[in-house]
Structure 1
Amino acid sequence: MTDTTQTDTENRQCAAWGAVLSMSLCVALLLASEFMPVSLLTPMADGLGVSEGATGQAISISGLFALVASLMSTTVAGRVNRKSVLVGLTMLMLISLVIVAMAPNFAALITARAILGICIGGFWALATAVMMRLVPSHDVPRALSIMYGGQAIASAFAAPLGAWLGDIFGWRAVFWALTPLVAINLVWQLTVLPSLPARGRQNFGALVDVLSRPYFLRGLIAAMLSWGSAFTMFTYLRPFLEQFNGADVLTLSLLLLVLGLAGFVGTWVAGRFIGQRVAPLLKLPALVMGVITLGLLFTSGSILATGVLLAGWGMMNTALSVIFMTWMSQNVSDAPEAGGSLMVAAIQGSILLGAIWGGLLLDHLSITATFVGSVALSALAVILIGNGQNLLRPVNSPKHTGD
């Protein structure tokens, strides 16, 4: 009997980690779909007959719809089983990719990005809460690091492969190539995700309650500044490398590969060492990425120096997600779906504003101004976070106090 019980427990644990891996693949495909245009910015702009700045801002349309979807997903979904919601969102991703691949004009691109934004917002709003249900609480940081390993995979291979394949076959072929992978992930989700009944009906009151907690609001603003800084720079990385370093397609692909591979290190380190002491780490990504972004402006004569700096940036970029989502899971554990919705809205809003901010600086000033604008946002994030203690839930209350 004991052996049978132990076997059943081990089978459940294996099934749970299989579900975590399916979520990780979904993250990889979501990130590839969302940010693939970064590596294809120049040819997409040429193919659709618009400027690079306008194309970069079109990318941010997904952020706008993701922002709205993240706030509404848990309320609109109501009592729908969360597995069904996740599968439906994956189907939306597939539809979006097909539209982008066939896009005859700029309007079609915007439409596809809007559909993708709904998928992104809904998925990320539920992702952390789902992880908290799949594995025990002490395994949540590890599960999150595995899930965000999908982000590292996308960062490592999507951008360089996109640039390389786009140069050979055209940018549309790159998006067609993603569609069978999404279809495979859809089948995998149907197979390994357990039934996840909704735990009560969510409403906007829950969002307001979480948002009214001073420590969480400060953390939300810090997250927005951190991600806003990152995507002010990252969205326009290709034009920067082309202008500052004279990077051709091969060099660009290699530099993006270095950046992405470093993301695996960031994800692994963050998942292994965060534990319960997340406060000191909250400002680290913004601080390191801000310094690196500034340093890139002085490496125009050296591809090697640029590659080293991009490796550091890539490591911190993936660590950023693990650090802040672990912070959220530990400090809003009583309302993970509401906290997740607000976090995703903040992140997607910052991606939207960062892309717009960077695009305006690029079109009206220069790529240097875009990078300086990124550094300014990271500096504000570091100042707000301080030592991180003011972003933690007060220990004398399981929910919140009016600190």
Structure 2
Amino acid sequence: MPLGTFIESLTDWRTTFLIWSGLSVVVLLAVVLTLPSLPSQSAIPVREVFALPIRNGRLRVVMTTVALYVLGHFGAYTFIRPFMEERAGASVAWVTGLLIVFGVGGAIGNFVAGHTVNKNMRATFVVACTGLVAALLLLLVIGGSPAGLAVAVVVWGVSFGAANLCQVNMMLAAAPDTFEAAMSLNTMGYNISIALGALLGGLFAGGFGTIGAVWFGVALTVIALLTAFGSHRDAAHT
């Protein structure tokens, strides 16, 4: 995304999309030509895949929680550049730099969560999701200054990286015997949530400005956090 932002500043958004589309085709061909066939060790019939969340309540909760925080994240993140430009007067170079910082923060969050998730998976996700809420609120409160913007983006990147690692481990814990099938459903839901998050965030941005998109992100990540807490209480009473 930082490179895409930079290319768009040199050309226009249509040219940027065409460039990334071409690169995507190259990657697809490379995958087809180089990756070997990897047969599944726990395959189930396709007709049973979509029944997994119906039969597995824990899996259903995990998928719902993941969909909620992904909706919230991408509802806000899709409009991070116009938010930075409007609220903090950020230049293209500053936006690009902060997006790189976001990516580095994501890698750090992923690394940290890799150590903590084995000790307490649910607590790690709750902390990560709390970080997402805090980052978006910081964006609204102090995102009008370059320094405040940088702080919010760092917290956001670290938290999102940690949450993404947690969701894979949560899926494995919820469906250990059908992990590949469950993960395929989760991946589908994740990508649908990216598209829906951008769409709904766009509606809020259109009606209330970029602040509306961020508030949408706050609302959805808060609901994801409450869902995680609720599932913990339910597990404690079963």
TM over 0.5: yes
Among candidates 47, 52, 60, match of residue 209 of structure 1: 52
Indicate the structure whose relative CO is greater, using CA pairs within 8 Å and at least 6 residues apart.
2
> Counterpart in 1 of 2:209?
366
Q: Gapped runs of 5+ residues in structure 1? A: 1-158, 395-402
> Counterpart in 1 of 2:37?
195
| Shift, 1:203, TM fit | 2.1
Q: Gapped runs of 5+ residues in structure 2? A: none
| Shift, 1:179, TM fit | 3.8
- What is the SS of the residue equivalent to 2:50? helix
| Shift, 1:234, TM fit | 0.4
Q: Number of residues paired by the alignment? A: 235
Decide whether the 8 Å contact of 1:210 with 1:335 is kept in 2: no
> Counterpart in 2 of 1:385?
228
Residues 283-298 of structure 1 aligned to structure 2 (within 5 Å): 283-298=126-141
Paired letter, 1:164: F
> Counterpart in 2 of 1:303?
146
Q: Distance in 1 between matches of 2:233 and 2:146?
A: 40
> Counterpart in 2 of 1:19?
none
Please list the CA deviations of residues 53-111 of structure 1 after superposition, one character each: whole Å capped at 9, or x if unmatched. xxxxxxxxxxxxxxxxxxxxxxxxxxxxxxxxxxxxxxxxxxxxxxxxxxxxxxxxxxx
Residues 74-113 of structure 1 aligned to structure 2 (within 5 Å): none
Q: Distance in 2 between matches of 1:355 and 1:391?
A: 32
Give the alignment's TM-score, normalised by structure 2: 0.86
Paired letter, 2:5: A
Q: Distance in 2 between matches of 1:188 and 1:341?
A: 18
| Shift, 1:189, TM fit | 6.4
Q: Distance in 2 between matches of 1:185 and 1:352?
A: 21
Say whether 1:160 aligns with 2:31.
Answer: no
- What is the SS of the residue equivalent to 1:335? helix
Decide whether the 8 Å contact of 2:78 with 2:198 is kept in 1: yes
| Shift, 1:180, TM fit | 5.2
- Relative to structure 1, is the Cα distance of residues 201 and 280 closer, same or farther in structure 2, using a 3 angstrom cutoff? closer
Decide whether the 8 Å contact of 1:280 with 1:387 is kept in 2: no
> Counterpart in 2 of 1:250?
93
Decide whether the 8 Å contact of 1:232 with 1:371 is kept in 2: yes
Q: Distance in 2 between matches of 1:300 and 1:271?
A: 29
> Counterpart in 2 of 1:29?
none
- What is the SS of the residue equivalent to 1:326? helix
| Shift, 1:233, TM fit | 0.7
| Shift, 1:300, TM fit | 4.2
Q: Distance in 2 between matches of 1:330 and 1:381?
A: 18
- Relative to structure 1, is the Cα distance of residues 390 and 324 closer, same or farther in structure 2, using a 3 angstrom cutoff? farther
Give the alignment's TM-score, normalised by structure 1: 0.53
Decide whether the 8 Å contact of 1:279 with 1:391 is kept in 2: no
Q: Distance in 2 between matches of 1:386 and 1:173?
A: 41
Q: Distance in 1 between matches of 2:213 and 2:206?
A: 9
Paired letter, 1:244: R
Residues 249-398 of structure 1 aligned to structure 2 (within 5 Å): 249-275=92-118, 277-386=120-229, 389=232
Provide runs of 4+ in structure 1 moved above 4 Å: 198-201
- What is the SS of the residue equivalent to 2:177? coil
Decide whether the 8 Å contact of 1:229 with 1:354 is kept in 2: yes
Once the two structures are overlaid, the 10-residue window that deviates more, 380-389 or 178-187, is 178-187
